[in-house]
Amino acid sequence: MNFRLAHKVLSSSIQALSCLRTILLRSNKFSVSCVHHQKFENEQRKSVLGVFTSEDEKYFHKSQQVFILQPYNMIDGETVKKAKLDESIALVESIPGWKPTGNHFVELRSGDINELLGKNTLSQTVTKINEVPSVSCVFVSTKQFSVQHKAALINASATRYVCDRQELVLYIFYLRAQSKFAQLQVTLAALPQIQQNIYADPYKYMAFKGCSGESFMERIAREFKTKEQKLQRQLKKLKKEREVVSSVRKSSGVPTVAIVGYTNAGKTSLVQILSRTGRAKPKDELFSTLDVTAHSAVLPNQLNYVLIDSVGFLSDIPKGLINAFTAIMEDMLQADLIIHVRDMSHPDCKGQLKSVLSFLLSMGLRETLLNNIVEVRNKVDLTDRSLSTFQFDKPTEPKRPKAESSTKCIIPVVICYTSITRNLGIDTLLSQVEKQLMRVTNRREVKFDIPSHGLHLKWLASECSVQNIQAVTDHRLCVTVVAVDWKIKKFLSVFPDSKQIET
């Protein structure tokens, strides 16, 4: 009887130990799983709330054979079609390792990109894509192609990845951004695109577990809202710092000239020539300048001024990038004069002009600035016209619209023809910049008769632009300066033994 009781107790103990062992093993596996899950969740959160998702980065960081789908409207001529395709090719080639391997024009009769997914159009498009066996990515050159449309194109063709203009331009900005301000603007502009991708395919991001009573979508919305608020705070702080720098520059009285133009039109090359410095490095690529940079320069009359080199414009700027463009170019709002550089050799130079002027109007620039634009028609040596037909030694007066015209348009105050690479027309441009800058800043040339001793000359050298100094007698000097009226009056009041020479 005792033996049987002991056997039962032993059997129960063995079963209990076995159960305990199973529980401990399961507990250990669960804890290990939790650790891996938390690590995966952190990686996913870091990737999703960065500039691009891990899925995007996987394709952008690899070499890709890209097939370009170029939509066009019925009203577009062959020249415009080719220009649009060339720009799309340049965008693709701006990403290291990406190579265009084929292209196909898609006519949009109504201008709606949804026509691309029509039965006949989609069939023809897929046939063209599949004719190039090495294609690994399709670039649809339109402002924005929805995630659902991308999935439909991927399923119908053999390609693994589809991207639109917004994604491509955002990634190029991501590569080019150097300053903290530009990097934050790109990240902020990318957030809506990433959020849309997650909403369209949430199963890839199920590592995001909500808190008690919080759904997956609510958690995603909260994470992105937090990230957006953090970026806005950082940008606000940087904006204050930039405003201080801008106000110091403005209070110094040094005039400012902003250089704008379509991307790759020659803006940075012009800055390099005008500032006579190697600090501005021109590159033959789209968006080579993404950050606004300031460069000191001197006019022929010895007037010091600041050149502001800005980011190049683009046609069909994606909606998500407009705010980033505007914010980066805020320094241009404080300029005294604008130099608009155009690439006259481009097949669609008129379309580029329209894009730049439309964006300038949308920025809300003050009327006086819009009415003081010097237009530089660059790269004329690459056009079909002979160089002898261009007037490099004198400016051209633009045609003015009729007085009864109600359409708001931007007319340059003067036009200069140049070839920056051949150094043609630069002297004429400089003289026009000097003339217009003197006019808009109310500066004028004036001569003073001053004693050769004392602080007179030192004051003029620090407060004005001294052009010439001549000895009149052993004790008197004739000094020619460029100054604004209030500084002329101040000098005469501070040094009453000086007098202004009437010319």
pLDDT of 202 > 60? The answer is no
Two tokens, residue 47: 């990737």
Amino acid of residue 151 = A
Two tokens, residue 313: 């414009």
Pair 165, 315: CB distance under 8 Å: no
Q: Identify the residue with better confidence: 261 or 290.
A: 261
Domain finish residue from 396, 424, 440:
440
Provide the CATH number for the domain around residue 154: 3.40.50.11060
Residue 396: inside a domain: yes
**C-alpha neighbours within 13 Å on the C-beta side of residue 162:** 23
10 Å CB burial of residue 213 (0-12, 13-18, 19+) is exposed
Domain that holds residue 142: 56-172
Q: Identify the residue with better confidence: 442 or 216.
A: 442
Residue 8: inside a domain: no
Q: Identify the residue with better confidence: 180 or 259.
A: 259
- Per-residue confidence (pLDDT) for residue 213, from 0 to 100: 55
Pair 469, 477: CB distance under 8 Å: yes
pLDDT class for 7, splitting at 50, 70, 90? Answer: very low
Instruction: Tell me, yes or no, whether 183 and 269 share the same domain.
Output: no
Residue 82: inside a domain: yes
Pair 29, 21: CB distance under 8 Å: no
pLDDT of 36 > 50? The answer is no
**Structure confidence by residue, pLDDT tens digits, 403-460:** 544 456 788 999 999 999 999 999 999 999 999 999 999 999 999 999 988 899 999 9
- Per-residue confidence (pLDDT) for residue 249, from 0 to 100: 64
Closest CA to 454 of 497, 400, 417: 497
Instruction: Tell me, yes or no, whether 220 and 282 share the same domain.
Output: no
Domain finish residue from 390, 421, 440:
440
**Structure confidence by residue, pLDDT tens digits, 334-370:** 789 999 999 999 888 888 898 888 888 877 778 888 8
Residue 371: inside a domain: yes
Pair 463, 487: CB distance under 8 Å: yes
Two tokens, residue 437: 């800058």
Instruction: Tell me, yes or no, whether 421 and 275 share the same domain.
Output: yes
Query: What ranges in 216-293 are assigned the alpha helix state H?
Result: 216-251, 267-275
pLDDT class for 76, splitting at 50, 70, 90? Answer: confident
> Backbone phi, then psi, for 29, in 5-degree steps?
-60, -40
Helix (H, G, I), strand (E, B) or coil at 42: helix
Instruction: Tell me, yes or no, whether 432 and 462 share the same domain.
Output: no
Instruction: Tell me, yes or no, whether 263 and 366 share the same domain.
Output: yes
Give the residues across from 415 on adjacent strands. Answer: 375, 396
Pair 442, 370: CB distance under 8 Å: no
Helix (H, G, I), strand (E, B) or coil at 353: helix
Q: Identify the residue with better confidence: 34 or 441.
A: 441
- Per-residue confidence (pLDDT) for residue 460, from 0 to 100: 93
Provide the number of structural domains found in the chain.
Answer: 5
Burial 236-255 (b: 16+ CB within 10 A, else e): eebeeeeeeebeebeeeeeb
Q: What is the largest CA-CA distance in the chain?
A: 139
**Structure confidence by residue, pLDDT tens digits, 234-275:** 888 887 887 777 676 666 678 889 898 888 888 888 988 998
Instruction: Tell me, yes or no, whether 369 and 468 share the same domain.
Output: no
Which letter does DSSP use for residue 411 in this model? -
- What DSSP assignment string belongs to 277-322? -SSS---SSTTS--S-EEEEEE-TT--EEEEEE-PPB-TT--HHHH
**C-alpha neighbours within 13 Å on the C-beta side of residue 480:** 9
Pair 268, 309: CB distance under 8 Å: yes
Residue 1: inside a domain: no
Pair 305, 311: CB distance under 8 Å: no
10 Å CB burial of residue 469 (0-12, 13-18, 19+) is middle
- Per-residue confidence (pLDDT) for residue 283, from 0 to 100: 53
Pair 129, 140: CB distance under 8 Å: no
Domain finish residue from 239, 262, 291:
239
Instruction: Tell me, yes or no, whether 421 and 452 share the same domain.
Output: no
d(CA 47, CA 41): 10
Please state, as a whole number, how many other Cβ atoms lie within 10 Å of the Cβ of residue 109.
9
Provide the CATH number for the domain around residue 478: 3.30.70
Residue 146: inside a domain: yes
Inter-CA distances, 392 with 419, 420, 427, Å: 9, 12, 9
pLDDT of 18 > 70? The answer is no
